[in-house]
Amino acid sequence: MKKISIIVSCYNEEEAIPLFYKELINNLSKMELNYEIIFIDDGSKDKTLEVIQTLRKEDKNIRYISFSRNFGKEAAMIAGLEAVTGDYITFMDADLQDPPALIPVMYNYLKKGYDCVGTRRVTRKGEPKIRSFFARMFYKIINKLSKVEMVDGARDFRLINRRMADAILSMKEYNRYSKGIFSFVGFKTKWLEYENIERVAGKSKWNFWKLFKYAIEGIVGYSTFPLVVSAFIGLFFCLISFIMIIIIVLKTLLYGDPVSGWPSMMCAIFLVGGIQLFVMGVMGSYLSKTYLETKKRPIYIVRLTEEDES
């Protein structure tokens, strides 16, 4: 019998986990598959780990990895993927925003020959208007800038087969941006759409500023276009200054050189200085990614797993 592995990233989800587990088991029992559920405790500060350990006493198909501190959801996802042994693998949130009822549906598509079934939200109900607006803008921009296609509203909730899992594991980068990684590896993907669901308990770990930084991360990670733009801005200003030099030389030769034009000079200095700093900032953000990448730091550090028991 084939096996399905469920990877659940959890950060302060003590209230949500029992509800999630019940709902998940209800759906898994309908499928003729062995299963393993691996909870990744991403350095939670509440009783998340204890809750998972209690569940494991009842169900030995539950495994867990507990991080030494909070490393972020991306780290949790890759830690889970490295640990699981299933033929089919799915990533889920613990807050029931990813409905377990979809798993059997997704599995049917894999049997039909797809390698991956992804989910996307078609509505952003229950989300602040301003956030939806910026999210849409982000997808417009990134899809113009980047060669890999990122689907608007795509969630991390996916079911993939072993082939695709191995492809993802072969991407060893430190700066992980899973939306980009999934589309980079390609494979035949089926998209399922559903309405946004509010989380059952606890609260979202995202705020506007975090999402903004995440968006920049995506752009820097999956497009070098800002660097090209920087070079063009530089070239454009060289051209302007070249024309200005000719005009000024001619003017001086023809009309002499009365000292004037201080305001316009200051404007030019500020403008060019500002552009230089901006372009350096763009270059710096790529450099900093390279810097982190060359350090080869671990993406996550494990403090405890179910193998440490007994």
Question: Based on CB atoms, which residue is closest to ligand UDP, 110 or 142?
Answer: 142
Q: How far apart are CA 102 and CA 92, in angstroms?
A: 11
- Answer for the pair 60, 23: CB distance below 8 angstroms, yes or no: no
Question: Based on CB atoms, which residue is closest to ligand UDP, 94 or 116?
Answer: 94
- Hey, what are 129's tokens? 């208007």
41 binds Mg ion, rule: CB under 5 A = no
Q: How far is the CB of 181 from ligand UDP (least distance, A)?
A: 16
Q: How far is the CB of 265 from ligand UDP (least distance, A)?
A: 50
- Answer for the pair 118, 90: CB distance below 8 angstroms, yes or no: no
| Residues between 128 and 167 that touch Mg ion (CB under 5 A) | none
User: Residue 154, SS3?
Assistant: strand
Residue 226 touches which member of ligand UDP, Mg ion, none, C-beta under 5-8 Å by kind: none
Q: Under the rule (CB under 6 A), what is the footprint of ligand UDP?
A: 9-11, 13, 42, 70, 72-73, 76, 93-95, 97, 199, 204-206
| Residues between 89 and 108 that touch Mg ion (CB under 5 A) | 93, 95, 97
Q: How far is the CB of 211 from ligand UDP (least distance, A)?
A: 8
Question: Based on CB atoms, which residue is closest to ligand UDP, 80 or 226?
Answer: 80
Contacts of 40 (CB under 8 A, 6+ apart): 7, 8, 9, 10, 64, 65, 66, 67, 76, 77, 79, 80
* # chain residues binding Mg ion, by CB under 5 A: 4
Helix (H) or strand (E) holding 192: strand 189-194
Question: Based on CB atoms, which residue is closest to Mg ion, 83 or 200?
Answer: 200
Q: How far is the CB of 73 from ligand UDP (least distance, A)?
A: 4
Q: Which string of DSSP letters, residue by residue, matches 217-270?
A: HHHHHH--HHHHHHHHHHHHHHHHHHHHHHHHHHHHHHH------HHHHHHHHH
Q: How far is the CB of 10 from ligand UDP (least distance, A)?
A: 5
Question: Based on CB atoms, which residue is closest to ligand UDP, 6 or 10?
Answer: 10
Footprint of Mg ion (CB under 5 A)? 93, 95, 97, 199
